[in-house]
Amino acid sequence: MGQTGKAVHEVHRLEQLAARDQWVNRIHPLVKFFLTVGYLAVTVSFPAYDLAGTAGMAVYPLALLILADLSFRDTGKRLRLVLPFVLLIGLGNLFFDRNLVQIGGFTIRAGVVSMAVLFVKGTLCVLASYLLIATTSMEKLCYAFGILHFPKAVITQFLLTWRYLTLLLEEVNRMTDAYALRAPGQKGIRMKAWGSLAGQLLLRSMDRADGVYESMLLRGYRGDYAYIRETAPLRGRDAAWLLFWGALFVLFRRFPVLYLAGAGIGGLLS
Amino acid sequence: MSDLQIEVKNISFAYEKGREVLSGVSFTVAKGESVGLIGANGAGKSTLLKLLVGLNPGFSGEACLFGLPLEKQNLAEIRSRTGYVFQDSDSQLFLNTVYEDVAFAPRNYKMTEAETKERVLHALELTGIPHLSSRQIYKLSGGEKKLVSIATVLSMTPELILFDEPSIALDPKNRRNLIRILNSMDQTKVIASHDLDLILDTCGRTILLSDQTVVCDGRTEEILTDRGLLEAHGLELPLGLQRTAHRPE
């Protein structure tokens, strides 16, 4: 399978994960959306040198991974594409933050700590966003946006872009496969073929997009994605889930929970 | 009220000026009829079907569906009463799972979730694929996709269904299954295909399109057994009939 084939597979795999009938998947999309936004805000707000505090925030994605029965290995594989960029952003701190800090009796550059904090923050934020997508379909997410009174046009645009992304990737996959089969032993696509391939891709994906749009029109589509309509109300367990995690985020932000837990365990042992 | 579901009078259509794809096409289809639309590649079968649901505007002549002139203000009603099964199932199906795609039309027609569910399950039942309900569309075979495409249309409970090359890329087993399903449908059907064996098995009446116009309209058995007529318009006898003709004594 080529790179684009893998990308298409990944998009479908994400949709498959989101369509599963897991407990976490059944939580109201609005609750999951609020929790993710809240989680990102709290995680990002930790001070630059608070490594223990930031790391404590890992409890939420870890709990979701377990409850949603998602593979740690697959999740790691997906994250590895983004992690180098996260690391790259923090790398500057090594050079610009020249203060010294004491950790466990060692004196090290504060830049190392702030880089680590930035890396942890970035990883956790990407992980939380991934978990939202992996447990909530794009349609349900848009349903949540609808409740929040996002403009209809924006929501429709969002949904159609998601649908057309797959379509575009499938066309790229077909074309690169067709090219590779007629250019054995050649690595990648030659520069001189790029122009016509891009033109063909545009025409073919427009054709397919036209077909999809016609199919939508003939099945009652009037510019309003009725698909995002959902009748499931917010239930007690959704509210409980929101309150539980909301309180936990505040707790982790206000108190050094990991430090206190470590000190408590240390005290018990001594 | 007229019993005619399609009335087409002297229709002409061109994608580009001066290059007509359809010219002076006239025919009618009555309620409950199953009509085959045949013709060689490029004869205008798909163009005509798309024209009937308003996807090819800018034609000349008169067209009425269910007694309603094919005009912009009537398109919503005409489309709500007409199902269209695309040649390419990948164009027809665009949502993640089978259930979601089959539910797309009922939801657009503002049905409640309970009604939508009932319609979806019934459509899947009619096409014999209730077991595919939660499957992802991209994982389906070509035959399964075709059946899902038909289910997406049946969930609208249309009075008229237009099929564009329904048997294309189907293996013999899936093709037989398709024929069984087509024959079990009560709706008025127009089936555009150059699979003449399929037309022979599913349609009582056939319209032959050639040179941009209708050259013959009559009983399927008469048209599809007329070797001279078919060959004059770029077609051949159905394979089933060819085998009978060449069977050794």
Written as one string, the DSSP assignment of B97-125 is: BHHHHHHHHHHHTT--HHHHHHHHHHHHH
- pLDDT value of position B78: 95
User: Which of B96, B105, B134 lies at the smallest CB-CB distance from A220?
Assistant: B105
- pLDDT value of position B243: 65
Give one word for B140, left, alpha or beta, with left for phi > 0 and alpha for psi -120 to 50.
beta
Whole-prediction pTM: 0.79
- pLDDT value of position A147: 87
- pLDDT value of position B1: 47
- pLDDT value of position B248: 52
- pLDDT value of position A188: 79
Distance from CA of B134 to the nearest CA of A (A): 9
- pLDDT value of position B132: 94
Enumerate the residues of chain A whose CB falls inside 8 A of the CB of residue B82: 218
**Mutate: best of B49, B94, B102, partner A, most A CBs <10 A:** B94
Enumerate the residues of chain B whose CB falls inside 8 A of the CB of residue A15: 96, 136
- pLDDT value of position B247: 52
- pLDDT value of position B249: 47
Q: Give me B5's structure tokens.
A: 């579901």
- Whether A220 and B80 lie within 8 Å, measured CB to CB: yes
User: Which of A19, A229, A231 lies at the smallest CB-CB distance from B96?
Assistant: A19
* Greater pLDDT, A75 or A97: A75
Distance from CA of B115 to the nearest CA of A (A): 12
Q: How many residues are there in chain B?
A: 249
The fraction of chain A above a pLDDT of 70, given in percent, is: 95
- Whether A220 and B90 lie within 8 Å, measured CB to CB: no
Distance from CA of B77 to the nearest CA of A (A): 9
- pLDDT value of position A226: 63
Mean pLDDT (chain A, rounded):
86
Q: Give me B152's structure tokens.
A: 């997406």
Q: What is the DSSP string of A150-190?
A: --HHHHHHHHHHHHHHHHHHHHHHHHHHHHHHTSTT--S--
- B208 closest CA partner among B26, B37, B40: B37
- pLDDT value of position B84: 96
Amino acid present at A191: M
Enumerate the residues of chain B whose CB falls inside 8 A of the CB of residue A214: 50, 55, 86, 91
**Mutate: best of A218, A221, A222, A231, partner B, most B CBs <10 A:** A218
Q: How many residues are there in chain A?
A: 270
**Mutate: best of B47, B96, B135, partner A, most A CBs <10 A:** B96
The residue-averaged pLDDT of A196-224 equals: 87
The residue-averaged pLDDT of A38-48 equals: 94
Strand residue runs (E) in chain A: 100-103, 106-109
Amino acid present at B51: L
Contact B85, B161 (CB under 8 A): yes
Q: How far is CA B111 from the centre of its chain?
A: 25
Phi and psi (nearest 5°) for A268? -65, -40
Strand residue runs (E) in chain B: 4-16, 19-30, 34-38, 60-65, 68-69, 82-85, 160-164, 188-192, 205-210, 213-219
Enumerate the residues of chain A whose CB falls inside 8 A of the CB of residue B151: none
User: Which of B94, B110, B138 lies at the smallest CB-CB distance from A226?
Assistant: B110
- Check whether A254 has a pLDDT greater than 70: yes
Enumerate the residues of chain B whose CB falls inside 8 A of the CB of residue A217: 55, 79
- pLDDT value of position B246: 56
- A32 in helix, strand or coil? helix
- Tell me what ipTM this predicted complex has: 0.83
Closest chain A residue by Cα to residue B134: A19
**pLDDT digits 0-9 by tens, A118-163:** 999 999 999 999 999 999 988 888 888 888 888 888 888 888 888 8
* Greater pLDDT, A261 or B175: B175
> Between β-strands B188-192 and A106-109, what pairing exists: parallel, antiparallel or unpaired?
unpaired
Contact A123, A78 (CB under 8 A): no
* Greater pLDDT, B161 or A109: B161
Burial annotation A43-52 (CB, 10 A radius, 16+ → b, else e): beebebbbbb
- Whether B136 and A19 lie within 8 Å, measured CB to CB: yes
- Check whether A108 has a pLDDT greater than 90: no
- Whether B96 and A214 lie within 8 Å, measured CB to CB: no
- Whether A137 and B152 lie within 8 Å, measured CB to CB: no
- pLDDT value of position A19: 85
Measured between alpha carbons, how far is A255 from B202 in angstroms, rounded to an integer? 74
Cα–Cα distance list, B11 to B17, B27, B59, B164, B233 (Å): 15, 10, 7, 19, 20
- Residue identified by tokens 């569309």 is B137
Q: Give me A78's structure tokens.
A: 């997906």
Measured between alpha carbons, how far is A119 from A125 in angstroms, rounded to an integer? 10
Task: Output the tens digit of pLDDT for each of chain B's 249 residues.
Answer: 458 899 999 999 999 888 899 999 999 999 999 999 999 988 999 999 999 999 998 899 999 999 999 999 999 999 999 999 999 898 889 888 899 899 999 988 888 889 999 999 999 999 999 999 999 888 899 899 999 999 999 999 999 999 999 998 788 888 999 999 999 999 999 999 989 999 999 999 999 999 899 999 999 999 999 999 999 999 988 887 776 655 554
